[in-house]
Amino acid sequence: MRVKCIVSYDGSKFHGFQVQNKERTVQGEIQKALKKINEEDVIIHASGRTDAKVHAVHQVFHFDTQKQLPPQQWKRAINHFMPNDIYILDACYVDEDFHSRYSAVKKEYRYLLSTKEYSPFETNYIFQYGKELDIELMRDAAKIFLGEHNFASFCSYDQYGNTIRTLYSFDISEENGIITFRLIGNGFRRYMVRHLVGGIIQVGAKRISKEILSEMLESCGEKKCLFKAKPQGLYLQEVYYEEN
């Protein structure tokens, strides 16, 4: 049987989502818990990977199991073995043709930035920029990324990876000195959100123009964006499927 789970985690003390030797990862912690429940190794398949120090509000993963438990019992059982920076929000049985990654139709990321005085309590959760940014300049520049583009200039290089993606929305809002960048697309390459936000921050700081970002985008990888926002302010907010 296939079980779909929604998980939330604080990425501050993780070396990313994907299992790595000798490093603490989200996948590693979940698979250790599932081994105790199933009494055998279980591999989970996630909707995507997050990097070190990146958080998730609603990340999705699935796994196959022979063990039969009521759906909510899966939630309670996994959480029983979870550390306090990971929490399973929901668990349910799904059809065997469901795949947490390949069945996803959209993903939403949010990035939080503070223009206020430095806060040691927020430093792992909000990028402590500490200076004013021009919101209207950033909103105007963000429009160039909407639609389908080759985002090779705004993600890490992968000679085998397809860098064509569709960005449905790129909204920027500000409240009480906290700027929220909200991006929804059909998929994101590694570091893509952080490079897009990083480039927009440079526009807001009036260090580069919208036209320079546009030239990078149109170069399809020949001109790389060297501005990458810090991981601490990034959240995987939601993964959307047809039933959403």
pLDDT tens by residue, 7-24: 999 999 999 999 998 899
Is residue 160 predicted with pLDDT exceeding 70? no
Q: What's this model's pTM, rounded to 2 decimal places?
A: 0.94
Q: What average pLDDT does range 123-131 have in this prediction?
A: 97
Is residue 147 predicted with pLDDT exceeding 70? yes
Active site residue 51: yes
**Average pLDDT score, the chain:** 95
The tally of CA atoms less than 13 A away on the side-chain side of residue 136 is 0
Is residue 190 predicted with pLDDT exceeding 70? yes
Angstrom CA distances, 177 to 102, 115, 127, 130, 139, stand at: 37, 5, 12, 9, 16
Is residue 244 predicted with pLDDT exceeding 70? no
SS3 state of residue 236: strand
Q: Say which of 10, 51, 90, 140 is annotated catalytic.
A: 51
Q: How far apart are CA 144 and CA 209, in angstroms?
A: 12
Residue 138's pLDDT is 98
Residue 156's pLDDT is 85
Q: Which has the closest alpha carbon to 87: 2, 192, 7, 5?
A: 7
Share of the chain above pLDDT 70, in %: 98
Residue 243's pLDDT is 72
Q: What average pLDDT does range 14-43 have in this prediction?
A: 94
Place of tokens 């501005």: 227
